[in-house]
A and B are shown apart, each in its own frame.
Chain A
Amino acid sequence: ETGVTQTPRHLVMGMTNKKSLKCEQHLGHNAMYWYKQSAKKPLELMFVYNFKEQTENNSVPSRFSPECPNSSHLFLHLHTLQPEDSALYLCASSQEIMGPGVPYEQYFGPGTRLTVT
């Protein structure tokens, strides 16, 4: 399955580092998402982009900064993270943003396992 790819797959960073996560979708979709998956917790939606415009910021701390240069690429820039930010970060895409009765399925990438030391 190569619909949604994420790099790197694993990342270890110190609290003072700056790094970026990359997501690319090859499905021709117009909506892209960042989620955080922590152990024993529900997936948390972080950001939503629709046609390159951010439509949702789910109260995410400013140390996470998304960027969507085009409908196929999504980045998550990280700086001065905390150990509690260690998690699996998932990217997803869908044809467009779902609405009531609009059956747009989200396709997920494999995730980036982030460890903050």
Chain B
Amino acid sequence: AQSVSQHNHHVILSEAASLELGCNYSYGGTVNLFWYVQYPGQHLQLLLKYFSGDPLVKGIKGFEAEFIKSKFSFNLRKPSVQWSDTAEYFCAVAQGGKLIFGQGTELSVKP
């Protein structure tokens, strides 16, 4: 069965630092990949998604992610984080009509 691993449980950065959050999935074949964000007290919202085409995907708020099929990875990046990026980030894989989530990475950005 498909599973998703997010290796970083809690990341603490200073403003303007670069961010990379890891995401690996276990099962190959055709996959659709997502990153969702949950700001404190708010609902889950989509940051970006990959379905096909260019493996470098750009999302909202300056985030991007790169799909590397050979590594089963879909890491999230941002060149310069802001305090307002403090949130929990979830990687998800769609397979068989279902979204399978990783356990999330909590990002704390210090002003």
B103 at the interface (CB under 8 A from A): yes
**Are A103 and B49 within 8 A (Cβ)?**
yes
Question: Is A109 at the interface (CB under 8 A from chain B)?
Answer: yes
**CB proximity to A under 8 Å, residues B24-53:** 30, 32, 34, 36, 42-46, 49, 51-52
A108 to B20 Cα, complex, angstroms: 25
**Cβ–Cβ < 8 Å partners of A105 in chain B:** 34, 46, 49
Q: How far is the CA of A101 from the CA of B44 in the complex (A)?
A: 22
Q: Which residues of B contact A (CB under 8 A)?
A: 4, 9, 30, 32, 34, 36, 42-46, 49, 51-52, 90, 92, 94, 97-104
* Residues in A lying within 8 Å of B, measured CB to CB: 1, 4, 40-43, 45, 48, 55-56, 90, 92, 97-103, 105-106, 108-111
